[in-house]
Structure 1
Amino acid sequence: MASLTSSIHRLTATPTYLTIALGAGLVTWQAAAGTVPWLVQILVFGILLFGSGIPHGALDHLINQETALRSGHRFSLVRFLARYLLTMAVYALAWYLFPALSLLLFLVMSAFHFGEADIERVPATPAWTLTRLLAGSWVLAFILLTHVVQVTPVLQRITQDHALTLAIWALAVNQASAVLIGGGVLTSLAFAVAYAINPVAMDYPRLVRLALVLALGYGLPLLLAFGLYFGGWHALVSFQTIHGYLRQRRPDTLTAGQIWLKSLPFTALALVSLGLFVWWWQQYAHTWDPLPLLFVFLSLITLPHLGVMHGMHQQVAGAPKRSATLHKPTRH
């Protein structure tokens, strides 16, 4: 009985199992009905986005404050917000002047960000850094190249039919199997080399759960596939890493629920900003295609978040860098 209770506790304490259950339910629905209704897709994506996706980024000020304290620096909320907004402004200008390069920058940084969260608590060595970049790139490529029919028109609208970008995409689509198989082999080799140089304890069941999330998304529409990965996996594992990071010095005062509540003010600010953006578009730019504008808006609030999370992951990886002994992995 004690063993069963312990197993149940571990299961319920791992929210990514809920993502797998949700994905399995959606796949079953689609198999039975032929398709998941569009309104259901929107509802599920909205719950994942606003329940965990945006909130995990709305903790950046707390993460940066903790990183500053651990680094022996003073933290200023005003200075943090000013730097955050300046980053967004510079990136917005880059989108205006160099849209194709800005898209490439966003994809590369997002790939590394995903890999950094998926393969956490490893030393910041060149081998592990390359492994994270390759792993995140493979995940991103898998989601995109298994939903070509839906991705292609979105890419055309975002890039405004940029010839070189679409030519590269067409080449990737034509060689999709080679890209995914070759990328998987290259990532595995990089992982093996990084592990041989700097061995660390890996939570392999966690990687299996990631594979299940991606596999379930393979048979679902793009919106659900990306929602399952971003909101149902990436944001949840990031939330748990953030939870451990923030409560390390005060374990009795910060629960996971309290940390989520602390994200609500900036989550609300993001929603208000999105509402103002929609209002501005309707009033002054309703003849413009809203999808590229929305994508740029989301990229602007994402880019500074990537820097904050990178700082946290570097701090978390500090223990492996200072010690050659294996550490016990945390469960997500």
Structure 2
Amino acid sequence: MLRWKLLLLGSVWLIPSSWLSSTVAMAVAGILVLLVGIPHGATDHVIFNVLKQRHVKQSVPITFLLGYLGIMLVYLLLWWWQPGLSLIIFLVISAYHFGETQLIRSPKAEVGNQYLYLSWGLFLLAALLLFHIDEVATLLVPLVGVPAFFDWLAQHTVTLLAFAGANLVITWSWQAWRAGDFQFLGWQALEIVVLLLLLWRTPVLVGFALFFALWHSRDATLEQLARFRALQPLITLQQWVKMALPYTLMSLVGIATLIGIWQVYQVAISPVTVFFVGVSLLTMPHILLIYRFYQLPSSVTDPNSMAAAQ
């Protein structure tokens, strides 16, 4: 699994920097998010049925729709009322979600696993944002204001990255020692080095798209398949795609609608920023649902199914 990621890293380093910043690279990044990233969250209705009935079903309960849309509406209002707070909430829960998905199969200590997930995700997001703080400021200052805060981040990039990295190393080493397994830690350390080099080399949007699609979404999809197969062993990847397709299309229509509104009313915000808010609205209920999904008892989430999924 690491081999193709190293190949990807090598390919990116061979590509001229001007190409990585081109419209073509941005288009590829967008396609990856649309075709791989968004579909991994489009089976949430199936996950809801697993949580409620311990059964893999395509049906869409009204309680699922009301809850999902309700969370999106509340979060949209929060974006309108307090965009800065909304951004902080989104980054923190996304960090936890990324770390949890990345390390869900790691050897578990008795306590502290949740903090490890958060530490992993915060370090990754810190690297992504601080490596390209000028780009990030251009995208987010029109949305949340406070340009002085982004100036402060730019001045303390090295310190913040060192703190986030030291926190992850200490937490990870402690957890590996308590769990009695350093082999997994070694492989994951190599993987995060690959990620850091990739994020440093690519523009912020391209780097995030590569991580989101080829790391997070891929791993999350395999994890879903493994857990679905623990309940229904004959489920195939093609069936998973079929289950994800309707809500993938609905999500794309929703994001396109937001961008269309931006064009009609000429809102003084970048369309990339509008896209970011749209994705955050879809992501919030997804993250909350996946957190519950990963808490299912071991009788439902058989670890041996992961091998079959791959």
Structures share fold, TM-score greater than 0.5: yes
* Secondary structure, counterpart of 1:263 in structure 2: helix
* Secondary structure, counterpart of 2:105 in structure 1: coil
Find the counterpart in structure 2 of residue 250 from structure 1.
232
Q: Which has the higher contact order (CA 8 A, sep 6+)?
A: 1
Find the counterpart in structure 1 of residue 132 from structure 2.
147
Which of 61, 79, 86 is matched with 1:102 structurally?
86
* Secondary structure, counterpart of 1:35 in structure 2: helix
Which of 181, 187, 194 is matched with 1:205 structurally?
187
Higher alpha-carbon deviation: 288-297 or 199-208: 199-208
Structure 1: distance between partners of 2:4 and 2:31 = 13
TM alignment of 1:1-332, pairs within 5 A: 14=1, 17-30=3-16, 34-36=18-20, 38-70=22-54, 77-121=61-105, 126-159=111-144, 161-162=145-146, 166-199=147-180, 202=184, 204-251=186-233, 253-283=234-264, 285-291=265-271, 292-315=273-296, 318-319=297-298, 330=306
Give the RMSD, CA atoms, in angstroms: 2.8
Does the 8 Å CA contact 2:109/2:175 hold for their aligned counterparts? Answer: no
Q: Deviations over 1:155-183 (max 9, x none)?
A: 21221x23xxx444333322212211221
TM-score between the two structures when normalised by the length of structure 1: 0.81
TM-score between the two structures when normalised by the length of structure 2: 0.86
Cα shift at 1:51: 2.2
AA in 1 matched with 2:157: A
Does the 8 Å CA contact 1:121/1:313 hold for their aligned counterparts? Answer: no
**Shift in alpha-carbon separation, 1:197–1:19, aligned structure 2, 3 A:** closer
Find the counterpart in structure 2 of residue 7 from structure 1.
none
Does the 8 Å CA contact 1:210/1:233 hold for their aligned counterparts? Answer: no
Structure 1: gaps of 5 or more residues? 1-13, 321-326
